[in-house]
Structure 1
Amino acid sequence: MTSFARFCICLLSIIVALFACAMYQHCITDDRLDLPFVYTHVLNPFKRVLPKVLPPSMTQGTAFLDVIAFMANLRNRILDNKAPLELDTVHKDKDGKGEILRYKKDREQQSQGEQNGKRKGALIYIHGGAYAFGSPEGLSGTVAEIETETGKELFFIRYRLAPQHRFPAGIQDCIGMVKWLFDNSEDLGITKNDIQLFGDSAGGSLVTIIAIELLEQSDLYPIKGVHAIYPWYNMLYDLPSAYEFSVDPAGVVNQEDLAPFMAIYFFGEATCSETKELNQHMTQNVQRKYRSAVKELGIEEYIKLLEDKIERFKSVEKQETGGIGDDEHHKCAKRYEEFLLKYQNNILFTPPEKLKLLNKTHFNIYSCEIDILRDDTYVMVAMLESLNISHTHIHTENCYHASFNDNTLAGKILQEKVVACMSSL
């Protein structure tokens, strides 16, 4: 058989596989999402098939992230999201550990405002992307509406990403840049007592961590408000929403994507992913801390309900044993242990006295109904309620993960809710 014939057969096989996946995806896609057919029924199945047909060397580390980045760019084009923002650098760490940027505006208008001596409040945006991709420019065209409707100055933080920079590099960068902005607020012409943080997905987790860390010195860093948008708080057991939307109807992040993202963030490559996929990544030490934290937080009944729900999901799924032995799983779990014990990776492990620091700010947390990370928010809300920590939980039904940055109906609804909360503070 000629090389051309082999190529044609391979190409035909890929087309058939994609078509089969698209038809499967058609059966489970939620029509409420108002997303293009080509995105939910073709692009997401293609993204799921690709790692299975490519050699492992092309689906780990930077190669895996390159594929994700390509899909994200294609996704933006399909959804007609606005072009990347044009941003000016306000401050850059000399060692490359973070950067603060600002939206390019009419300089004449800006200088007139500064001459009038008017000080504004500020909003600091921290992007998501599983700590491994994304950028400040990714807020897309929503920035103009946010600035106009809130009347506040909008800043962005660029932080170091995995796999080149693993945990906790990104967290350290964000804390350093937020501190710099507070310390230099007078020179920037902003009101120090009117600074709010907001971020989505991993960015939602980051703004929560920053607030907890900096509010210990609330006299120096009086964060006025925090807006955690569908945050990624949990790297322990998969929660019910991870099973309910194991294949994301919106085609953003599937259950099988979480494991390589975690491994890349911790280890710099997608090693030990299978151990996480099978929820074999928790050592006995981590499990003991998990049980202790649940008890200390007073959410045992709630967690029991979640665990019962998880078991029901598992009972209707085909359980795979995995391609590696128990010894390998034990070795991988040991590698995960030091990372999983950190509260920055699992909000459940936050000491209650640290969590109570959120009472010093206005803490707003946003969840979407059709979201693999929906229950991360629900667990956090249960913790806050149990500890009597002041907060506002805003839930949106016809909403999906990553919708905040999308030019869709769901995106606009969520953006309006976030802007309304920002403006009310």
Structure 2
Amino acid sequence: MAVGLTVLVLFLAVFVAGFILLVMGAINSHFSSSEIPPGLDQPAKLRIIHIMLICTDVVGKILNNIGICTEMSFARYLQDRKTQGVDPKLIIKDLWFEKVPVRIYQPKPPSASQRRGVMFFHGGGWVLGSLETHDNLCRFIARESESVVVSVGYRLAPEHKYPAAYEDCLNTTEHFLSNTEHFGVDPARVIVCGDSAGGNLAAAVSQTLAGRSDLPRLRAQILIYPVLQALDFNLPSYQQNQRVPLLFRKDAAFYVLQYLNGNAINMEDLLAGSHIPVDIKLNYSKWLSPDNIPEKFKGRGYKPHVLLNCTTEVFEKTKRFCEPTLCPLLAEDKIIQQLPEAFILTCEYDVLRDDGLLYKKRLEDNGVRVTWYHLEDGFHGIVSLFEFCGLSFPSGKRALDNIANFLKSL
């Protein structure tokens, strides 16, 4: 008995010591690798969230090294824990559209008139995120805007590479547009919405459906700090915010490569800008040039990037970045001109800020109405932190309120 108790005590001591070392290592990693902007509200919260993510990453690496599971599987396991129960103001159902899992949020009580419908595509770099991670966000949108929300559980990379996620989002949207009467939704008031990678998918689906005559026209698109191109990772926002949590510059390149190829072998090429031939980059410069970004967004520092060429071998692996269904910012004007009005949310301390600014200009230049909301104290992921373990941010709630108000105006 005494020996067994001693072993147990030693085990607990080792466990506690290991846990303390893990947390201390995560804190050290956070302070050495990240930058918390001075203009950010409640910086301590962001530090805590980033340290939690570092701890998750370290444990995932340990589990991967001893053969229990992959880092990605561990991160998904932690994210996908169901935490919400019944909502007194909503009817929530899990269904399948075209072999894709979806979650329907319908406001109570049933309305005598048809409601708006919102197709929601979650963020997570195409590799993380699920119906569970964005459940709070979808509940809020459904309640506050009195809309029927359809959250889409599309296939994730690297197991399912591009265009799997795009195809799932397109197919579920087509299904919903063809069956709106089953959900009490006005077919003329269907909106696509997404955050980060989900914003990419919403923009791509909107472009694909723009010229279709066999389906109702989308009413609007809501793009929440969307990723819209992968040709230039040296735009001002990428330079200024490259080490600001929750999305580092190198992580943005990692995620988009996971989606495209299922690996990140060419990440250094993307960061250097040597993954696309110069002549192709020059062809798209009319839409991607930093000159199209207002000067006030370059005040925190920007150094023009020298154009580099790439090898044929690298371009063979990255040439699909020129496809608008992967990088919507590169769509031709004739497509852009047919798009529905847009709500675009950008955050000052986000590497993807300039993607949103460039797309805003493209839409406006082509006569598409844009409602733009910029969070001066926002960072990437701030909206999806809504009601997250007491670590949400007032500015994220303001952004959500503006999204709900935009929906109610439609």
- Normalising by structure 1, we get a TM-score of 0.76
2:336 is matched with which residue: 352, 355, 367? 355
Alpha-carbon offset, residue 289 of structure 1: 2.4
Alpha-carbon offset, residue 418 of structure 1: 0.6
Q: Give, as a single letter, the amino acid of the residue that structure 2 aligns with 1:273.
A: M
Cα separation, partners in 2 of 1:183 and 1:16, compared to 1, 3 Å: closer
Cα separation, partners in 2 of 1:260 and 1:144, compared to 1, 3 Å: closer
Q: How does 1:221-236 map to 2 (within 5 A)?
A: 221-236=216-231
Q: Give, as a single letter, the amino acid of the residue that structure 1 aligns with 2:292.
A: Y
SS state of the match for residue 167, structure 2?
A: helix
- 2:193 is aligned with 1:189: no
Alpha-carbon offset, residue 308 of structure 1: 12
1:418 is matched with which residue: 391, 403, 410? 403
SS state of the match for residue 137, structure 1?
A: coil
Match of 1:247 in 2: 243
Instruction: Tell me, in whole angstroms, the C-alpha distance in 1 between the residues paired with 2:163 and 2:48.
Output: 33
Identify the range of structure 1 (208-217 vs 305-314) with the bigger mean alpha-carbon deviation.
305-314
Instruction: Tell me, in whole angstroms, the C-alpha distance in 2 between the residues paired with 1:237 and 1:288.
Output: 14
What whole-Å deviation, never above 9, does each CA across 1:374-410 have from its counterpart, x for those lacking one?
1111111222233333222221212221111223212
Match of 2:5 in 1: none
Q: Where do 5+ consecutive residues of structure 2 fail to align?
A: 1-10
Cα separation, partners in 2 of 1:281 and 1:54, compared to 1, 3 Å: farther
- 2:322 is aligned with 1:341: yes
Q: Give, as a single letter, the amino acid of the residue that structure 2 aligns with 1:422.
A: L
Aligned residue pairs: how many?
Answer: 382
What whole-Å deviation, never above 9, does each CA across 1:260-300 have from its counterpart, x for those lacking one?
21221112233333332333322x2xx322211334x5968
2:94 is matched with which residue: 89, 100, 110? 89
2:115–2:184 CA contact under 8 A, matched in 1: yes
Match of 1:271 in 2: 265
Q: Give, as a single letter, the amino acid of the residue that structure 2 aligns with 1:220.
A: L
Alpha-carbon offset, residue 259 of structure 1: 2.5
SS state of the match for residue 99, structure 1?
A: strand
1:182–1:192 CA contact under 8 A, matched in 2: yes
- 2:311 is aligned with 1:302: no
Cα separation, partners in 2 of 1:314 and 1:44, compared to 1, 3 Å: farther
- 2:28 is aligned with 1:20: yes
- 2:40 is aligned with 1:32: yes
1:25–1:45 CA contact under 8 A, matched in 2: no
What whole-Å deviation, never above 9, does each CA across 1:63-113 have from its counterpart, x for those lacking one?
342354367579x9xxxxx748895234332xx3x233213777xx45xx5
1:147–1:153 CA contact under 8 A, matched in 2: yes
SS state of the match for residue 226, structure 2?
A: coil
Tell me which protein shows more helix as a share of its residues. 1
1:299–1:386 CA contact under 8 A, matched in 2: no
Alpha-carbon offset, residue 143 of structure 1: 3.4
1:125–1:199 CA contact under 8 A, matched in 2: yes
2:238–2:351 CA contact under 8 A, matched in 1: yes
2:350 is matched with which residue: 371, 374, 378? 371
Match of 2:159 in 1: 164
Alpha-carbon offset, residue 345 of structure 1: 2.5
Match of 2:6 in 1: none
1:400–1:410 CA contact under 8 A, matched in 2: no
Match of 2:7 in 1: none
Q: Give, as a single letter, the amino acid of the residue that structure 2 aligns with 1:372.
A: V
Q: Give, as a single letter, the amino acid of the residue that structure 1 aligns with 2:274.
A: Q
Q: Give, as a single letter, the amino acid of the residue that structure 2 aligns with 1:412.
A: K
Instruction: Tell me, in whole angstroms, the C-alpha distance in 1 between the residues paired with 2:19 and 2:133.
Output: 33
1:290–1:348 CA contact under 8 A, matched in 2: no
Q: Give, as a single letter, the amino acid of the residue that structure 1 aligns with 2:371.
A: T
Q: How does 1:108-187 map to 2 (within 5 A)?
A: 109-110=109-110, 113=111, 117-187=112-182
SS state of the match for residue 312, structure 1?
A: coil
2:363–2:369 CA contact under 8 A, matched in 1: yes
Instruction: Tell me, in whole angstroms, the C-alpha distance in 2 between the residues paired with 1:236 and 1:84.
Output: 42
Q: Percent identity over the alignment?
A: 19
Q: Give, as a single letter, the amino acid of the residue that structure 2 aligns with 1:289.
A: I
Cα separation, partners in 2 of 1:379 and 1:71, compared to 1, 3 Å: farther
Alpha-carbon offset, residue 415 of structure 1: 0.3
Cα separation, partners in 2 of 1:180 and 1:161, compared to 1, 3 Å: same
1:293 is matched with which residue: 284, 287, 306? 284
- Normalising by structure 2, we get a TM-score of 0.79
SS state of the match for residue 161, structure 2?
A: coil
SS state of the match for residue 375, structure 2?
A: strand
By relative contact order (CA 8 Å, sep 6+), the higher-ranking structure is 1
Alpha-carbon offset, residue 138 of structure 1: 2.1
Instruction: Tell me, in whole angstroms, the C-alpha distance in 1 between the residues paired with 2:357 and 2:203.
Output: 15
Instruction: Tell me, in whole angstroms, the C-alpha distance in 2 between the residues paired with 1:171 and 1:27.
Output: 33
Cα separation, partners in 2 of 1:105 and 1:347, compared to 1, 3 Å: closer
Q: Where do 5+ consecutive residues of structure 1 fail to align?
A: 77-81, 316-325
Instruction: Tell me, in whole angstroms, the C-alpha distance in 2 between the residues paired with 1:394 and 1:330.
Output: 40
1:100–1:158 CA contact under 8 A, matched in 2: yes
Alpha-carbon offset, residue 45 of structure 1: 5.3
Instruction: Tell me, in whole angstroms, the C-alpha distance in 1 between the residues paired with 2:231 and 2:70.
Output: 26
Q: How does 1:97-108 map to 2 (within 5 A)?
A: 98-103=100-105
What whole-Å deviation, never above 9, does each CA across 1:174-229 have from its counterpart, x for those lacking one?
11111111111123322111111211111111111111111202562221111111
Alpha-carbon offset, residue 17 of structure 1: 4.4
